[in-house]
Amino acid sequence: MGDLTLDTARPHMTALADELSKAGAIRTPQWHDTFAAVPRHVLVPTWFEQEQNAKGITVWRQQRATADERYLAAAYRDVTLVTALDPATSEQVDDTAWTGFPTSSSTLPSLMAGMLEGLSVRTGHRVLEIGTGTGYNAALLCARLGDRLVHSIDVDPDLVDTARTRLARIGYTPGLTTGDGCTALPDLSFERIIATCSVPGIPQEWIEHAKPGAVIVADVALGIEGGLVRLTVDEDRRAIGHFTTTAGRFMPARSDPRAYPQPHRPQRAPEAESRPTTLTAPEIQSHYTLRLLLALQLPETELVYDIDDATGAMSIQLQRSDGAWARVPFIFNAEPTVTYGGDPNLWKQAETTWHWWKAHNRPAHDQFGYVREANGDAAVWHIPDGTRWHLTTRGRPR
């Protein structure tokens, strides 16, 4: 890192804290001062940025924070910095570039700030973080609460070791554990739990390690879409609260540090027909909460962006685990059509969901409650009228 000192970085740390406050992500002076005090570049000295290389292949090019102002400033942008690629599939293509899926990153600072504000920590709270990654978020928690009260876990032992070394370099020694943060937590109980990887539902293990009144902030992934929830664990071990309007989209929790979970893509049913529809690809693409409702209404279904090899035309495709699918293209100024295969109800249900959402004045994410009962059952409901969707214990709608 050359002759880079904390003093060189300090104006960038303050500028990031100011930017996050101005954007409304930081809402309290305590978190402003904390962001201004924690050097992100020490925890994220290198990262990857996506680019097309000379052969037209999309690669991750390694970047480095150096004393050069340009590179130092780059570490303090309000952007996600990808820091690890799936070792099982990534391939080195030149001296500083690889292909592959990201398996760890330093989260978008404004998202981090919003989640930390949502956690409502107070002095003396013991906090658990699932997803140590670079250790930046753990460092922020240490700076705010003291290392003694911060515990962080990551499934990848290399990440934990690196984070431990870098955290110590700036004076923080939180409790750090390697393991699956959904099934194997340290023998402690916590007032606050924050997860920076997504989960299909709130794991039993978290509830067992949550003190009554504990707050959980986590990204619940429900297939087509999910969202950040803020829940409170009550005396009966029920976690109840609501979605927030902040999009999470964290990388999914995995139990194997060396393998990234790949979605199971079923054999697609043969094409049945095309017909006019009023639900368009841009409508689905631009409405986050419409996608949450589609996720609730269409279990076992994923949404993918499809590019036609021959024409380059892009469409949105819903595909269900039984092979049913429906595709709407991004064509403007034309009568929209849907093409589908397998169960025609897949798209009909999508259209009905869209009509429901419009008829209810297009409610946003924070109009939806989320509960995880003590027995593991979970549900989402529309707060204004109580319409309810039951989820399986794995979190997916049933």
Ligand X SMILES: C[S@@+](CC[C@H](N)C(=O)[O-])C[C@H]1O[C@@H](n2cnc3c(N)ncnc32)[C@H](O)[C@@H]1O
Binding mask 50-89 for ligand X (x = CB under 6 A): ----------------------------------------
Nearer to ligand X (CB atom), residue 136 or residue 354: 136
CB 236 within 8 A of CB 226: no
Which CB, 83 or 339, lies closer to ligand X? Answer: 83
Closer Cβ to ligand X, 244 or 301, answer by number: 244
3-state secondary structure 180-207: CCCCCCCCCCEEEEEECCEECCCCHHHH
Are 79 and 43 contacting, i.e. CB atoms less than 8 angstroms apart?
no
Q: Which is nearer to ligand X, 202 or 284 (CB)?
A: 202
Instruction: Give me the least distance between CB of 267 and ligand X, in Å please.
Output: 29
Q: In this structure, which amino acid lies at residue 48? A: F
CA–CA distance, 201 with 219 (Å, rounded to integer):
9
**Which residue among 250, 354, 368, 389 contacts ligand X (CB under 6 A)?**
250
Residues 207-236 close enough to bind ligand X by CB under 6 A? none
CB nearer to ligand X: pick between 115 and 378: 115
CB of 263 to ligand X, least distance (A): 16
Residue 282: half-sphere exposure toward Cβ, Cα within 13 Å: 7
Is the separation of the CB atoms in 248 and 111 below 8 Å?
Answer: yes
Q: Which of 19, 156, 191, 219 binds ligand X (CB under 6 A)?
A: 156
Number of residues that bind ligand X (CB under 6 A): 26
Q: Are strands 337-341 and 325-329 parallel, antiparallel or unpaired?
A: antiparallel
Considering only residues 83 to 112 of the shown chain, the ones binding ligand X according to CB under 6 A are 103-107
Choose, by CB under 6 A, the member of 77, 254, 287, 360 that binds ligand X.
254
Closest approach, Cβ 313 to ligand X, in A, equals: 33
Distance, in Å, from the CA atom of 219 to the CA atom of 358, rounded to the nearest integer, reads 25
242, two tokens: 């609501």
Q: Interface with ligand X by CB under 6 A: which range of 250-258, 272-280, 309-317, 381-389?
A: 250-258
Of 21, 34, 63, 134, the one binding ligand X (CB under 6 A) is: 134
Does residue 289 bind ligand X (CB under 6 A)?
Answer: no
Position 196 contacts ligand X (CB under 6 A): yes
Which member of 4, 155, 193, 229 binds ligand X (CB under 6 A)? Answer: 155
Distances from the Cα of 76 to the Cα of 12, 48, 166, angstroms: 6, 14, 17
Closer Cβ to ligand X, 100 or 131, answer by number: 131
- Which of 197, 215, 217, 228 is in the footprint of ligand X by CB under 6 A? 197
Q: Which long-range contacts (CB under 8 A, 24 or more apart) does 347-353 make?
A: 347/277, 347/279, 347/318, 349/297, 349/298, 350/279, 350/294, 350/297, 350/298, 350/318, 350/326, 351/277, 351/278, 351/279, 352/297, 353/290, 353/293, 353/294, 353/297, 353/298
Q: Return d(Cα 129, Cα 214) in angstroms, integer.
A: 13
Applying CB under 6 A, the residues found at the interface with ligand X are: 103-107, 130-131, 133-134, 136-137, 153-156, 159, 180-182, 196-197, 250-251, 253-255
